[in-house]
Structure 1
Amino acid sequence: MVLFRGDIKCKSLQRRTSISVILPADNIHFLNDTEEIVEKPYKTLYLLHGLYGSDDIFLANTSVQKFAEDNGIAIVIPCGENSFYLDDVKSHRLFGEYVGQELLDITRGIFPLSDKREDTYIAGFSMGGYGAIRNGLKYCDNFSKIGMISAALITDDIVNYGDNTNVLYSKDFYESVFGDLDNVAESDKDPKWLAENCENVPEIFMYCGLDDFLFEKNADFYRFLKSRDIDATFVGAEGEHTWEFCDEFVKEFIKTLKL
């Protein structure tokens, strides 16, 4: 396994930004005197972090490095700040365009990653779960599967939030990210609207803890998908909104890729 951490310059953000890239190369087992060769170009998972996170947070809190090595998959982790992976045109912080298209172009130009849709996947935890479904649907021709772990599916609720010093429940914060909250529904910031208007919906996998404060929102979205005959799988398992849950179900999602 090879780990790269560094900065890239991107047009979508009009600046440099950090990424972490895990490659299933150099799988040398010194004690056994063996080496596993993963065929190039690599199948690739673009993995999105949650609120308050950065590109290194999965490396610190999960075992994705080892799991990438064991399963022969590349994992690209961008820094999404607290953007919900949306596009802020005024400040030219186009995080949706970045993770949906430009990041793929940049990383494929640097690393031996497959450019095939069937070899390219997007997933995320919490805010990153929202970013995965939003951009996995908006850029559906780029991704064959979407993984949502404890996804922050909050677009139906944030319009009712008020003044709050806690960012999680602050209307001012969400207005700074989503814009006019009255215009979120039935827009490309609304996963339900995107799912109904996407002609090439990737296969969707959802995971949420039964004691997670986001469980009902995830269950509701799953019911919506099934009512539209959209191919989706939902796993409600013991757990809360924790890194332990995230670690387990990022790995479960990778298993569905049948590498």
Structure 2
Amino acid sequence: MAFLQANIYSNVLEMEVSVNVILPQKTEKKIGTTTKGNLTDVPVMYLLHGMGGNHSVWERRTSIERYVADLGLAVIMPSTDLGWYTDTSYDMNYWTFISEELPLICHELFPQLTTKREKTFAVGLSMGGYGALKLGLAKPENFAAVASLSGAVNLADRIEDLLAVKGRNFWEGIFGPLEQVQGSINDPMFLLNQLVNSGESAPNIFLCCGEEDLLLYGNKKMEAALTANKIEHTFETGPGNHDWVFWDEWIQRVLEWLPLEN
């Protein structure tokens, strides 16, 4: 298993972006674990951070490298600042970067990564859970499965929750007028309805949230919408709050759920 720290240039964002990458590598260690790796067509998971995090936070706060050691899975962990995986109203196009440019850069730099939908996944926590679900609903042709851990997946219906975290100027810098979020590309419920109406195949979706988490209400509403629209999904809750104790435990459950060929 190789752990790489890369600085890439984004033409979309017009700046340097940091990305941490875990790549499968065949190793035989006398002490520790033996890991396996493929040289071609490697499954890939884009692992997205939340507010306050960056490209390094999953590696520092969980044992993600150890968890994927025997899965033959590449993990891409980009830094997206506080952009909410959105083409912001202040003209920083984080959505275009994460959904279009980053995969192209990764395939250029790491040609062993798969280009197949059935072996490509997106996972994230909190803000990143919103981003992962957004990728799955808006770009279903690219992802076989997406997972949201404690995601802000119903934010358009819970504007008061946003304003409890940051002021209106912050949010409108990202999304524009908050009254216009509902029914836009930044509204996962709208993206779900759009996907259903398109007739395209949806990715499999995993939602989880702690039972003491304030975002549980929004996750339950999203789960109800997925059920009503007959979208294949898994929804699970358990003891926990909006913290790394919960996310370190549940990323392991997500990895078990992903449709990987071992």
For 1:255, what is the secondary structure of its paired residue? helix
Counterpart of 1:170? 167
Residue 161 of structure 1: CA displacement? 6.2
Which residue pairs with 1:147 in the alignment? 147
The aligned residue for residue 16 of structure 1 is: 16
Query: How many angstroms apart in 2 are the aligned matches of 1:35 and 1:62?
Result: 19
Is the contact made by 2:28 and 2:35 (CA closer than 8 Å) also made in structure 1? yes
Provide the C-alpha distance between the structure 2 equivalents of 1:3 and 1:103, rounded to a whole number of angstroms.
18
Q: Which residue does the alignment assign to 1:238?
A: 239
Distance of aligned partners of 1:192 and 1:161 in 2 relative to their CA distance in 1, 3 Å threshold? closer
Tell me how far 1:115 sits from its aligned partner: 0.4
- Structure 2 distance, partners of 1:33, 1:95, is 37
* Greater displacement, 208-217 / 132-141: 132-141
Q: Give the Cα separation in 2 of the matches to 1:218 and 1:34.
A: 38
Q: 1:232, CA displacement in angstroms?
A: 1.4
Q: Deviations over 1:105-130 (max 9, x none)?
A: 11011111000000100010000000
SS of residue paired to 2:130: helix
**Equivalent residue for 1:190, pick from 187, 190, 212:** 187
The two structures have a TM-score, normalised by structure 1, of: 0.92
Q: CA deviation at 1:90?
A: 4.5
RMSD: 1.9
For the 8 Å contact 2:46–2:75, the answer to whether it is kept is yes
Give the corresponding residue for 2:50: 50
**Paired position in structure 1 for 2:102:** 103
Asked if residue 134 in structure 1 is aligned to residue 153 in structure 2, the reply is no
Secondary structure at the counterpart of residue 206 of structure 1:
strand
Aligned partner of 1:206 in structure 2 is: 207
- In the superposition, relative to structure 1, how do residues 32 and 102 fare at CA in structure 2: closer, same or farther (>3 Å)? closer
SS at match of 2:80: coil
Residue pairs, 1:89-128, within 5 angstroms: 90-91=90-91, 93-111=92-110, 112-128=112-128
Shift of 1:34: 6.0
Q: Aligned partner of 1:140: which letter?
A: P
**How far, CA to CA, are the matches of 1:48 and 1:141 in structure 2?**
19
Q: Is the 8 A contact 1:44 1:121 kept in 2?
A: yes
Residues 143 and 34 (structure 1 numbering): CA distance in 2 closer, same or farther, change over 3 Å?
A: closer
Matched-pair contact (CA < 8 Å) for 1:137–1:194: yes
Change beyond 3 A, Cα 1:53–1:238: same
CA distance in 1, matches of 2:13, 2:156: 24
Residue deviations 1:63-107, cap 9 Å, x none? 11111212111000000101111012652x211111112111110
Instruction: State the Cα deviation string for residues 30-61 of structure 1 (Å, max 9, x = none).
Output: 23896634352210000100001100000100
Contact residue 24 and residue 36 of structure 2 kept, 8 A: no
Q: What's the counterpart of residue 223 of structure 1?
A: 224
Distance (whole Å) between structure 2 residues aligned to residue 60 and residue 33 of structure 1 = 20
TM-score norm. by structure 2 comes to 0.91
Contact 1:159–1:182 under 8 Å retained in 2: no
Distance 1:255 1:160 in 2: 31
Q: Which amino acid aligns with 2:229?
A: R
Aligned residue number for residue 2 of structure 1: 2
Q: Secondary structure at the match of 2:54?
A: coil
Gaps of 5+ in 1: none
In 2, are the aligned partners of 1:23 and 1:68 still within 8 Å (CA)? no
**Separation in 2, partners of 1:12, 1:201:** 27
**Higher strand fraction: Structure 1 or Structure 2?**
1
More moved, 27-36 vs 65-74: 27-36
Tell which deviates more after alignment, 51-60 or 136-145. 136-145
What amino acid maps onto 1:248 in structure 2? Answer: E
CA distance in 2 between counterparts of 1:34 and 1:84 reads 37
Query: Which deviates further from its counterpart, 188-197 or 37-46?
Result: 37-46
Provide the identity percentage: 31
Q: Which runs of 5+ in 2 are unaligned?
A: none
